[in-house]
Amino acid sequence: MTSDATPQPPAGDAAIESVSVLGEDSRRRMFAFIRRQGRPVTRDEAAASVGISRKLAAFHLDKLVDAGLLRSRYEPPGGIRKVGRQPKVYETTDSHIHVSIPDRRHELLADLLLEAVLTEDDGESAAHAAVRTAGRRGRELGEREREQTRPGRLGAERGLSVCERMLDQHGFEPVRETPTRLRLRNCPFHPLAAKAPELVCGMNHAFLAGYLDGLEVSGVEAVLAPRPGECCVQLGPPAQ
């Protein structure tokens, strides 16, 4: 539900892993030091900033790189080229860390609402623009996944298996109640959905319906079926 041009925070387990990496004191202090510098930092500089050996600093820095919090490359300090091997330097990435249990995706909702405002047609209400935008974004996501995976014909059971991956990534906590029905145990937009349920649930429903349409899943539809503390939408057989 996000635009490709917008940097997004690590999701789910990746975000938790990033936070756990920063739990070590020296690692956290080096990360803060590098952020403040606003330029690539060498291992020697990072080690000196917290008073540890260069070898230990290298270990911690590589952990931060593995977690996606830093990136590294070989570059002469100050841009001055010298004979011999260039030192490894580190700088922060554009990633932002946000961890919430259960998962919340308020930035996705904000992104959709912003796009709706920017594309609102003359005579169109803001709510209608928001629902239209959510449906189009869901359809584009489904079309993109179908193009990438080329799953062939998708009936209800296999189609829901494909949907589960996307729903899990977006924080919906899907649960297979029956082979052809998915219940969504978490609302990624809570508690904002509680403040404007008609708008947010309408956008959520349009997004998921659009995704099914773009993915070309047969025998499944998104229906509004609110339950306390859960998502307002479930995926299952069309109503008779």
23 occurs within a structural domain? yes
Residue 35: give the domain boundaries: 13-92
Determine the pLDDT at residue 77.
56
The total number of structural domains that make up the chain: 2
| Judgement on whether residues 157 and 48 belong to the same structural domain of the protein | no
Identify the pLDDT of residue 140: 95
Q: How much is the pLDDT for 25?
A: 86
Residues 65 and 151 in one domain: no
149-208 pLDDT per residue, tens: 999 999 999 999 999 988 988 888 888 989 999 999 888 888 777 888 899 899 999 999
* 174 token code pair: 């899907």
Separate counts of helices (H) and strands (E) for the chain: 9, 7
Residue 100 has pLDDT above 60, yes or no: no
Residues 67, 29, single domain; the answer is yes
pLDDT at 7: 41
Q: For residue range 222-232, what is the model confidence (pLDDT) as tens digits?
A: 999 888 878 88
My answer on whether 128 and 44 are in the same domain is no
37 shares its domain with 149: no
Tens-place pLDDT, residues 34-62:
888 878 999 999 999 999 999 999 999 99
Instruction: Please identify which residue in the block is written with the tokens 């059971």.
Output: 157
Which residue do the tokens 């952020």 mark? 35
pTM score: 0.62
Answer whether residue 29 is part of any domain: yes
Q: Strand 70-74 and strand 88-92: pairing?
A: antiparallel
Would you state the pLDDT for residue 1?
42
What is the pLDDT averaged over residues 126-147? Answer: 94
Instruction: Look over the chain and give the mean of its residue pLDDT values, rounded to a whole number.
Output: 83
In a domain, 41, yes or no: yes
> Residue 7: inside a domain, yes or no?
no
- The answer to whether 146 touches 216, Cβ cutoff 8 Å, is yes
Q: What pLDDT is recorded for position 44?
A: 93
DSSP state of 121: P
Say if residue 177 is in the same domain as residue 86.
no
What tens digit of pLDDT does each residue of 60-91 get? Answer: 999 899 888 889 988 765 555 555 567 889 99
Please report, for the domain that includes residue 66, its CATH number: 1.10.10.10
Query: Residue 140, class by beta-carbon neighbours within 10 Å (0-12 exposed, 13-18 middle, 19+ buried)?
Result: middle
Q: For residue 87, is the peptide bond before it cis, meaning its omega torsion is within 30 degrees of 0? A: no
Contact predicate 163/183, CB 8 Å? no
Q: Is residue 165 included in any domain, yes or no? A: yes
Q: Please report whether residue 5 resides in a domain.
A: no
Query: What angle is formed at CA 46 by the lines to CA 50 and CA 60, rounded to 5 degrees?
Result: 85
Kindly report, residue by residue over 4-35, the tens digit of the pLDDT.
433 444 445 565 666 777 778 888 888 888 88
Residue 223 belongs to a domain: yes
Residues 142 and 221 occupy one common structural domain: yes
Domain end: 57, 92, 127, which one? 92
List the structure tokens of 90: 């580190």
Q: Are residues 126 and 17 in the same domain?
A: no
How many CB atoms lie under 10 A from the CB of residue 88? 16
Looking at the domain assignment, is residue 100 inside a domain?
Answer: no
pLDDT beyond 90 at 94: no
